[in-house]
Amino acid sequence: MVAYHTCARLTMISAPLFSRADAFRQRLADHDWAASVLGPVDTWPLAIRTVVRLMLDAKHPMFVFWGPRLGLLYNEAYTDFLQDKHPAAIGQPFSRVWPEIWPALSPLIARALAGESIYVEDMPFVMFRNGRDEQTWFTFSYSPIYDDGGRIVGLYGTGVDTTARVTTERRLAFQVRLGDELRDLADPYAICARTAALLRAELAASRVVFSEIAADGEHGILHSNALDGALPGLTGSVAADDFGDAVLPTLRSGEARVHNDIVAELGARDPRAAARFVQAGIKAELSVPVMRNGQLSSVLVVHGTRRVPGPRTRSPRCRTLPSAVGAPSSAPVPRRACRTPGCNWNSYWASARPSATASGTSPRISSPSPARTAISWPAIRP
């Protein structure tokens, strides 16, 4: 029953907290709150219930956590952040819902619980959702919730997923920087070497190398290594089928090949190729074709020594790396469907620089070894 209280020009309505008849609120109404860390709803502080009511009416993502264990409440818009963590996250301690990002957030939460309003722009997170790590960026705020006695009883916050904007800005900034660096270069190998160096630094990869397709069309001639010291430089030639029978057909079609986690993604399907990578110390790999007159001319190869979180949206269509960064080629690189999802370069290696943002600086928080000697690729064959 809804009770109306009239006093002068103010009319107040008292209604159950989860009274509106929609599926999300019905789930909250049916939740066993007595068994949760927050306890029965009728025992919640009035200040918490007031903010929760406002939160549930909001159309943008909002959340509240309160109590000794910081039990989490959120509105329907926030479920897009949680993805498969919902509905199990309802009423759970915040640290249990987000264990992978709790170490980064707990100092900010402690400051907010001490009375400070927190605002953070474009903070990078590697979130574990839908069974895998995802690189994301968020802008969010925390504010204290006070009771009538002036005591802080919890926090409420809002958030915006800025991953798409951050990655787009990073890509565009890199395109401009690469164009400036290559403008005065004429020698193709100088262009490749400079591109590899800039790309390795931008992606925080362990190695970027070009493989020029030999006359037989079956081997690659390796050159223009860019290294961070974790992997050696590569010279000589390599047979493409050493890395899987599908490599050449994929690359010749103009499509990129990507493995965020070689052992997990390639091990069962092609154990010989996976073992080849593992022996070479490579745990993540991206191979992107450079086409000339419709033919495979060379391959831009990116290697990492650890697995890489995938992008949030694993679209079946995305641009290949050369078109994203302006790879040196006399012919435009076509936009093709990626046979393996998740080949958007600006998400691919993003987590390797956890403090990086689109501008290259740390996220804004406001409140009131030399390379190893190059070796020949065949020398590390099993």
pLDDT in tens, the chain (382 residues): 444 444 444 444 445 888 767 899 999 999 999 999 999 999 999 999 999 999 999 999 999 999 999 999 999 999 999 999 999 999 999 999 999 999 999 999 999 999 999 999 999 999 999 988 899 999 999 999 999 999 999 999 999 999 999 999 999 999 999 999 999 999 988 999 999 999 999 888 999 999 999 888 888 899 989 999 999 998 888 887 777 677 888 888 888 888 888 888 888 888 888 888 889 999 999 999 989 888 898 999 999 998 888 654 433 333 334 444 444 443 333 333 222 233 333 333 333 343 333 334 456 655 443 333 333 333 333 3
Indicate the domain borders of the chain. Answer: 3-161, 185-380
Sign for the CA dihedral angle at 37, 39, 43, 49 comes to: positive
Q: What is the pLDDT of residue 15?
A: 55
Pairing of strands 207-213, 219-227: antiparallel
CATH fold match for the domains 3-161 and 185-380 = yes
Q: What is the pLDDT of residue 356?
A: 36
Domain covering 3-161 in this structure, CATH number = 3.30.450.20
Which is nearest to 343 in space by CA: 251, 267, 264, 277?
251
Q: What is the pLDDT of residue 329?
A: 40
Place of tokens 């080629």: 329
303 vs 209: CA distance, rounded Å: 9
243 vs 275: CA distance, rounded Å: 9
Q: What is the CA radius of gyration of the chain?
A: 26
Number of CB atoms found within 10 A of residue 22's CB: 10
Q: What is the pLDDT of residue 123?
A: 98
Secondary structure of the chain: what % helix, strand, coil (to 5)? 35, 30, 40
Give bridge partners of residue 259 from the DSSP assignment.
Answer: 285
CATH superfamily label, 185-380: GAF domain (3.30.450.40)
